[in-house]
Amino acid sequence: MSKLFPLGVFAGVFAAVYYACFVFNYTPYRYYPLNGDISAVDLPRTAGPAMGWFTWIVVGSLAGLVAAAVAYVVPKSASEKIGAVMSWAIPLGVTLWILYVEKHWFLPTPTP
């Protein structure tokens, strides 16, 4: 097994789960930076804006770690069939898709 195979699996699963959390707005916990609070329920508007990004990072990392642990015990013959290059195809594809979907952040705003 390539030493990079579990890392590629981690990156692919992390990217896919992070993007799914973003798209489906899965934020079981929210951070309110104005108060420094972490809450599982929405706080009133007076608490300021909520940040769900931290939850997406944690959920994606946990899913990636579980997948990497499973990939670590995959037999060498199976991991060599997939290859290190192919294991990086998913994170690269998800990254390119996110850049495409979020391209409005990188393009200039048209003036009326």
Domain ranges (residues) in the chain? 5-105
Closest CA to 63 of 94, 1, 18: 18
Residue in the structure block whose two tokens are 């192919």: 86
Q: What is the pLDDT of residue 61?
A: 95
Q: Which pTM value belongs to this model?
A: 0.73
Residue pair 16/94 in contact (Cβ under 8 Å)? The answer is yes
Q: What is the pLDDT along the chain (112 residues), one digit of tens a residue?
A: 567 778 888 888 898 898 899 889 898 899 998 888 888 888 888 888 888 888 999 999 999 999 999 888 877 776 677 666 666 777 788 888 888 888 888 888 777 7
Residue in the structure block whose two tokens are 């013959």: 77
Q: What is the pLDDT of residue 87?
A: 67
Q: What is the pLDDT of residue 2?
A: 64
Other beta carbons within 10 Å of 112:
3
The span from the CA of 44 to the CA of 80, in Å, is 53
Q: What is the pLDDT of residue 103?
A: 85
